[in-house]
Amino acid sequence: MTDKRCTALVTGAGGFIGGNLVAALRSRGHERIRAVDCKPFAEWYQRFDDVQNLSLDLNLLDNCETAADGAADIYNLAANMGGMGFIEHNKALCMLSVLINTHMLQAALKCGAQRFFYSSSACVYNGDKQTTFEAPSLKEEDAYPALAEDGYGWEKLFSERMCRHFREDFGLYTRVARFHNVYGPWGTWYGGREKAPAAICRKVAETPRGGTIQIWGDGKQTRSFLYIDECVEATLRLTRSEFRGPVNIGSEEMIALNKLAQLVAEVAGKKVNIVNVPGPVGVRGRNSDNALIKRELGWKPSLTLREGIKATYEWISAQVSQLRAAS
């Protein structure tokens, strides 16, 4: 295991997963953490005074080298991304994230990093395997033959291959995880980049008892959702493991979007009416198969969806109340 006195670099640290990862490293006693994001500090979800915080555009190679200088472990979570609405309407912007991972790999190699973690996505999986509501759980080999989510998914799949070839050709220690719909507190909950759990929590928090919320599509599309703390734990285990191949980090608890909205309303103690409207929906069914990560890392989620949604709703409801009070 890397000495906790060595520098750990987290890119995308001003975002949801990156910010929670920095918080976890601090809580585990890491003494030297470098947090990097392109956003101004005021827009970071979490920022800590005892961490070296840098605002850098990692599309640029020079900035990647500045970020990687002296770092032993690199967690590359920086990307242009968001929920389904953002992904479907910003395909070129999402694909430009390939610059970040390419330059971060080059910088990691040049600066002598010991470990390099890359956050991929379930959007890399073949769309033909996700055409029904009760789609079978996705195994790691189901990414090929390749038919990834247009834009965002193709960039992630290409970047996975980059990590593999940097390991094979240059000996760089790389690890790749395919995240499945991570949610929880301290993340995007409004503005167009939020994902389904956060968007639904916000809508329910903003809606009076007996009010109406909208869900894109027919609401029968299914997904599994992983609570942020579980994601961070699995990420840290994978980064320090001997397992090389891409691996799912997700939950096997699949749910339809309308039922997710009902669950949020129950947690909130509200009765709401759900109206389905046209909008981006993505694939019909997607669920994580966790057999590989259970076998290789001994990891599986411990929190139920209801428990995670309760914690998430409480945080988002507080944000909604604060915003109302401020305005």
Q: Which of 15, 32, 29, 49 is nearest to 184 (CA)?
A: 15
User: Catalytic residue numbers?
Assistant: 152
Q: Which residues contact 314 (CB under 8 A, 6 or more apart)?
A: none
Check if the beta carbon of residue 118 is closer than 8 Å to that of residue 10: no
Q: Which of 23, 24, 27, 31 is nearest to 5 (CA)?
A: 31
Check if the beta carbon of residue 215 is closer than 8 Å to that of residue 261: yes
| Whole-angstrom distance, CA of residue 11 vs CA of residue 323 | 28
CA distance between the termini of the chain? 48
| Whole-angstrom distance, CA of residue 199 vs CA of residue 189 | 6
- The pair of three-digit structure tokens given for residue 263, joined into one six-digit string: 């669950």
Compute the CA torsion angle 77, 71, 247, 198 (nearest 10 deg): -30
Q: Which segments of 28-151 does DSSP mark as H helices, in order?
A: 61-68, 84-89, 91-95, 98-111
Q: Which segments of the chain does DSSP mark as H helices, in order?
A: 16-27, 61-68, 84-89, 91-95, 98-111, 152-170, 196-206, 228-239, 257-268, 291-297, 305-326
- The pair of three-digit structure tokens given for residue 283, joined into one six-digit string: 């694939």
| Whole-angstrom distance, CA of residue 68 vs CA of residue 297 | 27
- Beta-bridge partners for 33: 8
